[in-house]
Each structure stands twice: as C-alpha cells, then as structure tokens.
Chain A
Amino acid sequence: MNAPEQVRGHSGAADEPVFQEPWEAQAFALAVALSERGIFTWAEWTQTLGATIQAATKPQDSDGSAYYQCWLKALEQLVAEKQLVAATTLATRKEAWRRAAHATPHGSPILLENDPLARS
C-alpha cells in the first residue's frame, strides 16, 4: 500500500513512456524549439516554469500528472509576456480547433482547415 505522499507511487517502472499523452510531447517540444530559436532563454523558461509549478502544486499530485499542465501554462504565459501572440488570439484559435475537431469525421486527421468557420 502506498501512502499518498510516497515518492515512487505506482508509476515507477523504468520503461514507462516519457509522455502520457501526445499533447504533452507537443508542449514539451514547442518550448524546446522556441528556446532553440532564441525566442526565450532556457533560464527564462525554467524560471517561469518553476514559478508556475510553485503556484500550482497540490500536495496530492503525487504522480506528477500536473507537470505538463504547468508546462503549457508557463509556455502560454511566457509567450504573452514576450507579446508574441495576444491572449484573445490564442482563445479564438483554440475555439477554431474545437470546431475543427467536431467537424472532422472520426478516424481522419484533425486539421484546422476543417473548422467550418475557418475559410471564407
């Protein structure tokens, strides 16, 4: 029986996948790619990520599942701070993806072009 705060938890297998879900991989790679392009430095990144984790951590999050949620939140924040994209633009685009997903038949790749409101 694992105590909730036990470190190793249930997911300590050495061969566990590095990402639990595809979006985690995309978020991870996006941050790495942006820093490699010099959009922000890695020190800036870890500072923002660290602060986000600090603010978000719940004591019960013993499986680390909130980690990439923080990762994405930090990325959105840094991108906003750098004024690369406005928050409203981001929110609009997110809804476009939602509509595109809904309009895409099951089994087909979800493309932004599938958003019924996308192209006039």
Chain B
Amino acid sequence: MSDPSNHHHHDDHDHSDNNLSEMDLRVRALESLMVEKGYVDAGAIDAIVETYETKIGPRNGAAVVAKAWSDPAFRDWLLRDATAAIASLGSTGRQGEHMVAVENTAEEHNLVVCTLCSCYPWSVLGLPPTWYKSPPYRSRAVIDPRGVLAEFGLNLPPSTRIRVWDSTAELRYLVIPRRPEGAEDLSESALAALVTRDSMIGVGLARRPSEISK
C-alpha cells in the first residue's frame, strides 16, 4: 500500500498504518511523562493550544491601538505604562512580561524583533508569524532594517528614522502605527479593522479606510 517515495521528509517509513513523525513521538513521550508525574495536566495543555489557535490573535492588539487613536488619555497611559493600559482591556501576559508601546510618527518608525528566540507580545498579537521566527528576519532586522522593510513593501522616506526594538523574555514591544488619513470620523471598532498585525510589529502600516471599504 504505502509508497516509499511518498513519505515525508526524514521520517522512517515502513508498512504499518500509523507512522508518527520523530518530532511527534518525542512530544508525545515528553507530554505523557510530564502528565503522569503530575507536572502538568493534559487539560491545561489542550486549553493553551485552543486559546492560541482560536482566541488570542492580533485583534486584541488592534483594539488597543484603536483605543489609543481615539482616546488621548488612554494613549498617554499606554505610552507610560503599557502593561497596565493593555491589562485594562483584558489582555495580560502569561509570563508576567512587561509591555512597552512605541509610537510611530512622521519622524520615527519603530520595528520589533527578537534576535534571541522570537519573544513576541503573545497576549496582544497571538503567536508570531513564521517569518518573525526565521533567522533572516532576526538577524537582518537589526543590520538592515530599511532593507527588510522594503521587502515587506514598506519604503519609508529617508528622513524617517528607524528604531529597532529587540524583545526579551521580560520586555515585549507593541508598535502603535500612525493613524491613517481619512480615518478621523471612524468608531473604535472601525478603526481596529484598519490595524494589521504587521503594522503592530512595524513591518507594515495601518490600512486606509478606502482599502477595506467593501
């Protein structure tokens, strides 16, 4: 039945029905032992997976940015104490990390990276996209941020300074993108729809209202 030329990557292939990959076997081994020894419970693991697959995503961060755009007092609070301001909207970090919000202006553009291991503001953005974790992004965002941004289709004027923020286990950054033109009269929820994940990492801009009108 099974055709050896059809197997995945480096997995051992043989004739049986169920072949788990080496990675899958290793995770199952570790997880089952941790559960048996009482270090974790299986339900907690499933709940975490479900949360990150379905509940926590960039919409949380978009709501934070939209509120900062429409409420100057909240914006000031966010810039002063992002951890508390974000928590007030219901998003708190699982690892007790501190959040720092950095605001884009005409003069300065902020870009977030984690050169070490892809620390990322999970509570507001969900889990990082693949490219954020890739070695080229992690190394080149620091060395050549302008070139990296150009690859994302973002060409900033030479007069705009780029600041690169390197995340750590304790400190995660959220970029507040510039409020786009033509978004003056929008409600907070309409504003949130303009805020993309990429704009909160700093590799993109917020969308204009005209880009999402249907």
Which A residues contact B (CB, under 8 angstroms)?
A: 5-9, 11-12, 14, 16-23, 25-30, 32-37, 39, 42-43, 45-47, 49-50, 53-54, 57-59, 61-65, 67-69, 72, 75-76, 79, 84-85, 89-91, 93-94, 96-98, 101-102, 104-106, 110, 112
Q: What would be 30 A-B contacts, judged by CB atoms less than 8 Å apart? A: A7-B152, A8-B151, A11-B130, A12-B129, A14-B129, A20-B130, A28-B127, A32-B48, A32-B94, A33-B40, A34-B39, A36-B94, A37-B39, A37-B40, A42-B169, A46-B168, A49-B117, A54-B116, A62-B135, A63-B134, A64-B130, A64-B132, A79-B30, A89-B33, A97-B25, A98-B20, A101-B18, A101-B25, A102-B18, A106-B17
Q: Give min CB distance, A88 to chain B, whole Å.
A: 11
Query: Which residues 1-57 in B have Cβ within 8 Å of A in the complex?
Result: 16-21, 23-34, 37, 39-40, 44-46, 48-49, 52-53
* B contact residues vs A (CB 8 Å cutoff): 16-21, 23-34, 37, 39-40, 44-46, 48-49, 52-53, 94-97, 116-119, 126-127, 129-137, 140-141, 148, 151-152, 168-170, 196-198
Name the one of B29, B32, B136, B196 contacting A14, with C-beta atoms under 8 angstroms: B196
Choice from B39, B127, B169 contacting A18 with Cβ under 8 Å: B127
B27:A26 contact, CB within 8 angstroms: yes
B135 and A59 contact, CB distance less than 8 A: yes
Number of inter-chain CB pairs below 8 Å: 189
How close is A26's CB to chain B, nearest CB, in angstroms?
A: 5
Distance in Å: Cβ of A17 to nearest Cβ of chain B: 8
Contact B20 A30 (CB under 8 A): no
Q: From A44, which residue of chain B is reached at the shortest CB distance? A: B169
Contact A12 B17 (CB under 8 A): no
Give the distance to chain A from B71, nearest Cβ to Cβ, in Å.
Answer: 26
B96 touches A29 (CB 8 A): no
Main secondary structure of the interface of B (DSSP, over half): helix
B117 touches A50 (CB 8 A): yes
Given A26-B28, A85-B30, A90-B29, output 15 extra A-B contacts at Cβ < 8 Å.
A7-B134, A12-B152, A19-B53, A28-B49, A28-B127, A32-B48, A32-B94, A33-B40, A34-B39, A65-B130, A76-B26, A94-B29, A97-B20, A101-B19, A106-B17
